[in-house]
Amino acid sequence: MSEINNTLVVVGVQWGDEGKGKMTDYLGQKADVVVRYQGGNNAGHTITFGGNKYALQSIPSGVFNPHIKNVMANGMVINPKAAIGELEGLKERGITDFQLFISDRAAVIMPYHIALDGAYEALKGGKQIGTTKKGIGPAYCDKYSRVGIRIGDLIDPEYFAERLRDALTQKNLELRALGLEEFDFDTLYKEFLAYGEILRPYICDTSILLNKEIEEGKKVLFEGAQGVMLCIENGTYPFVTSSSPTAASVPLGAGVAPRYINRALGICKAYTTRVGAGPFPTELEGELADYIRERGHEYGTVTGRPRRVGYLDAVGLRHACRISGINYLSIMLFDVLTGVETLKICTGYELDGKVIDYVPATLSALERCKPIYIEMDGWKEEIEDVRDFDALPATAKAYLRKIEELTNTEIAVVSVGPDRTQTIMIKDIF
């Protein structure tokens, strides 16, 4: 069998919101297939072109290109009502010509997952994760404890009745114990059968479809949600999401062989943001944070919360690049840094008097880490119209070269604005 190199995984290498939507849409113009393989409508992926801005939550970012097959694969957790709402929203804005395939094996987010997400957060006192309250964690828990409902169940009425009855026996017990309202079988059953009927035309075995496409040499782009630092396995646990956005997650989450996945593009902001609680060693407060937040419109796509802002953290980036096997980086929101006089990059942490160059596993250790910085000169010129690497200010180029050196990873793309066209392609990788 010849080596497959027509697939590429788009992976966020920080705490999400790095610009994965923009890059997936941009690279997607050359793709045949775009696949979401984990997460759900906790994601908010923004795409801007032709003067229009769209925010997608569970629908893949290839949906604006009619030639693309968009796949919501088995590793996702899907809220059918929200997905239908997204599709209606797209149709209202004239996006009617798209191809969509939803895995019959994907997990369903039920209303009790959303209720439980809120209740678990409330129980944490001052230690909330700051989840998006979309029911993500409880839906993945049910999948793993084998009481989950799957998308394919929604179009098999008898089997769905059995699954829902079993799930509600357990869930209502838990809801009652938490003092929450229980869910009525008949109401939920009717509601979700109706969603199943609406989604029926899209539901199929997406693993069969994907393997065929890959083996035929079609170009397949896997669109990660969240970022490696929010990964359930490798992130800043427990302040993480409940799935793994790394490239390693693709074979399982999309039902394709690991040998088909050999290239990953790391999507990385030129600085760092985080929304929700949890450790953030390079976090900034004050004037510079406000400057970056305003220039970068750093407010959550899903929840509207102001994002926490900080300097670039090369320790975190090395961790993410190693875990996800990042071949190339795409540096995003580079235009936002114009006007920052001195840029800092964290190159190591000081932990209890010792210098370390890795991300410690425990929260208590990570919270004690103090960033060690190098300083670099910034630039004053606006760069949003630059389309050629050589035309960037010398100090901007030096900042990019330093990122390559510190992460030992080549930069293939630099993004200088939200629009599709505001992109500097250094190396054609797809």
**Cα–Cα dist 122/164, whole Å:** 26
The tokens describing 141, both together, are 């828990």
130 binds, among ligand GDP, Mg ion, ligand IMO, none (CB under 5 to 8 A by kind): ligand IMO
Catalytic residue among 25, 32, 45, 419: 45
Sign of CA dihedral 50, 52, 58, 59: negative
Q: How far is the CB of 275 from ligand IMO (least distance, A)?
A: 5
48 three-state secondary structure: strand
Indicate whether 418 belongs to the interface with ligand IMO (CB under 6 A): no
Strands 69-72 and 33-36: parallel
Instruction: Lay out the site mask for ligand IMO across 250-289 (x = CB under 6 A, - = otherwise).
Output: -------------------------xx-------------
If residue 349 lies in a helix (H) or strand (E), which one and from where to where? strand 342-351
19 binds, among ligand GDP, ligand IMO, Mg ion, none (CB under 5 to 8 A by kind): ligand GDP
One residue of 83, 336, 346, 412 binding ligand GDP per CB under 6 A: 336
Report angle CA 169, 163, 245 to the nearest 5 degrees.
Answer: 100
Q: How far is the CB of 386 from ligand GDP (least distance, A)?
A: 11
The smaller minimum CB distance to ligand GDP, of residues 45 and 219, is found at 45
Instruction: Lay out the site mask for ligand IMO across 27-46 (x = CB under 6 A, - = otherwise).
Output: ---------------xxxx-
The tokens describing 27, both together, are 């690279």
Among positions 113-142, residues that touch ligand IMO (CB under 6 A) are 129-132, 134, 136-137
The smaller minimum CB distance to ligand GDP, of residues 20 and 274, is found at 20
Whether 17 is catalytic is yes
**Cα–Cα dist 320/233, whole Å:** 12
Cis omega before residue 245 (within 30°)? no
Indicate whether 230 belongs to the interface with ligand IMO (CB under 6 A): yes
336 binds, among Mg ion, ligand GDP, ligand IMO, none (CB under 5 to 8 A by kind): ligand GDP
Whether 67 is catalytic is no
Burial of 388 by CB count in 10 Å (0-12 exposed, 13-18 middle, 19+ buried)? exposed
Number of C-beta neighbours around residue 375 at 10 A: 10
1 three-state secondary structure: coil
One residue of 38, 206, 272, 301 binding ligand GDP per CB under 6 A: 301
Q: Supply the residues annotated as catalytic.
A: 17, 45
